[in-house]
A and B are shown apart, each in its own frame.
Chain A
Amino acid sequence: MERLDPRARSDIYGSRINRAPSPLRARSVPYITIMLGSVVPVLLIADLMPLTPSLGFLMLLAWRMVRPGLLPLWAGAPLGAFDDLVSGQPFGSAILLWSLAMIAIEIIETRFPWRGFWQDWFTASTIAVIYWLVSLLVSGASLTPEMLLVALPQALLSVLLYPIIARLVAGLDRFRLARARKLD
């Protein structure tokens, strides 16, 4: 069989015989990647203006959209708590906003069960832009017009980044479900 087609007994997740996905990897990858998304922007030195949108939040949105039902409904609270610790926002803002976003997506999904990529992008962008504005409002600083102006690219980026991050999450999902465990 292998001589005719080397990939006959495998699919995108790897060899199908005698292999199974690792349960640890299947469960931990979404959480770890979202937390990494929260941490990575911290390593940039943004002295003049905010540089990137909240990558952690975009990762959360993408995981929720690409893999509905994988993250539990309440996952926004613990992941948001971690984001708050490093993001510089007052503690509690991401807990509140991420939980609200998860509930909002759930409601939208029950309302419009059949959806495609364009609708996902639209939903994610709307939520990301609202999140951008509200998190500026609750940042603990008095909002000046200049601040809003320099933060505008952030909103634009969060809309434009969603398709890329959704592709990234799809790749991570293949990694998550790869048959890494050998059955003996």
Chain B
Amino acid sequence: MAPPSSRRSGFSKKAQYSLFTGYLLACAGVLLGFGLLALSLWQPGAFSTLRGAATDVVAPAGEVGAVTRAGTQGFFAGIAGYFNAGMQNNELRREVEIARIRLAEADAVKAENQRLKGLLGLSEAESKPIAVARLVGSTATSGRRHAYISAGANDGVQPGMPVVSERGVIGRVLETGRNSARVLLLTDSESVLPVRRAADNVIAFAEGRGDGLLRIRLVNLGVNPLKVGDLMVTSGAGGYYRPGVAVAVIAKIIPDGGIAQLIAEPGATNYVAVEPIAQAAAVEALDAAEQLSPKPSASPSSKPAPSPAALETVD
């Protein structure tokens, strides 16, 4: 098939000019794109308001999608449940009994905990979620792992706030629109989160690898104490997350840490809670200090909190 002959300019001055203008505009588009790309790689937050407005438009459609997704998940789980239902029933009954015992034990521990805290004079810092929202979408075509939630600046959501599901940490708010916000998921290769082992205080950083797994990098070098199956929780260092929220389970051991699997998979989550920054005062003070002396800090262990402006690149 040949291109339509109307597109050959021939001797027509008008056609020649319009062809030339087309090339000119396309080249202008290339230059514009190059400039904007350089700007947004240099300043990742430069177009956040524009993106926020676009997300606000798309979010309602995502809401419908989220409802459908939850419905279909329930449907298939229901069908799967009919198979081996009897066997599961027995097993579940046994598990519930054990869980009741454990719950009673936990109550006792909680009571003791409260008593000890009272002795020490610590106040119970109860963090209420700022907003509860649906996960309405994600960047499914890009190499970045961002998700969109259906709560934004109107609900009090601000950049930097942690996003958790009932199972554990999902990620952190990156940009906000009016009624939607963009969340940096833990699996994004730019995401770094300070964690510790739940059982003791082995501290580490959980970095996203970009392929759905986290790389746990130990802070203290030496003999690797991690084992397959260890639970990693947030350590609270950095001031953004409250300590003790589940993050990942170690799946493989490597020389300087481990490879871990997420506990709270966003794809299997319907509702998430946006929590306030755990130690907002500390984070603000650190930002102020960083603005006064803008020097790049070298060692990650000596730097507890990055500024929200540098969210995209650090933590």
Q: Is the CB of A42 within 8 A of B143?
A: no
A103 within 8 A of partner (CB): yes
Q: Known contacts A139-B144, A140-B144: does B30 contact A44 (CB below 8 Å)? A: no
Partner of B62, one of A42, A73, A90: A42
Q: A43-B61, A69-B3, A76-B26 are in contact. List 11 more A-B contacts (CB 8 A).
A: A43-B136, A48-B267, A51-B141, A77-B28, A88-B138, A91-B36, A91-B47, A95-B36, A98-B33, A140-B190, A146-B209
| Top 8 closest pairs, chain A to chain B, by CB | A88-B139, A92-B36, A48-B212, A96-B33, A77-B29, A95-B33, A147-B210, A92-B37
A15 within 8 A of partner (CB): no
A130 within 8 A of partner (CB): no
Partner of A44, one of B40, B44, B138, B262: B138
B71 within 8 A of partner (CB): no
Cα-based distance from A52 to B212 in the complex (angstroms): 16
Q: Which residues of B contact A (CB under 8 A)?
A: 1-4, 6-7, 22-23, 25-30, 32-41, 44, 46-47, 50-51, 54-55, 58, 61-62, 65, 69, 135-148, 185, 187-190, 209-213, 262, 265-267, 312
Cα-based distance from A72 to B23 in the complex (angstroms): 10
Q: How many residues of A contact B (CB 8 A)?
A: 64
Q: Is the CB of B189 within 8 A of A150?
A: no
Q: Known contacts A68-B7, A76-B26, A90-B41: does B138 contact A46 (CB below 8 Å)? A: yes
Q: Is the CB of B32 within 8 A of A52?
A: no
Partner of B33, one of A86, A92, A146: A92
Q: Is the CB of A147 within 8 A of B211?
A: yes
Partner of A86, one of B39, B55, B144, B190: B55
Q: Is the CB of A50 within 8 A of B4?
A: no
Q: Is the CB of A140 within 8 A of B137?
A: no
